[in-house]
Amino acid sequence: MMGILVDRTQSRWGKFRPYLLFSPILFAIFAVLCFANPQFSDAGRLVYAYITYIIFGMVYTASDVPYWALSGAITTDAQERNSIVMFPRFVGTFGAAIATVGTLPLIYLFRDLAGGIPLPGTSSPQPCTASSPSAASLSPSSSSRNAYNR
């Protein structure tokens, strides 16, 4: 549906530019709203989570579809299109890998900086050693055990 909307867009900026210019603003707003914790009842927070997550997904689609469709408008040569999209996909994958591996060590670092606040399900703070966060983040079976059962 978003592809049809982009194809039918006729603006002074072209087909893709309006989505590439304005959707990142909405994306940032709804990314923050998705993680906000409003003081609603449990049912209200659930409805809030559903609404913000659905709108976040729609805004993401509104920015992502035109971005990747842009390569088809730049050139009709398949080899050129592949070379155009290869770098952003590689950088995105690399960034996701860094975020995945780096999340647990950052959790331990900030926990220790905050004075050793206990993790959920624990009664006392556990000291963080230099090797435990990286080892826990590399092993899927130990990462869930270490994060919740320390």
What tens digit of pLDDT does each residue of 61-116 get?
888 878 777 777 777 888 887 887 888 888 989 999 999 999 988 888 887 777 76
- Model pLDDT, residue 149: 45
- Banded model confidence at residue 21, pLDDT cuts 50, 70, 90: confident
Closest to 26 in 3D by CA, of 65, 67, 55, 64: 55
- Model pLDDT, residue 96: 93
For the chain, the domains span 1-74, 95-150
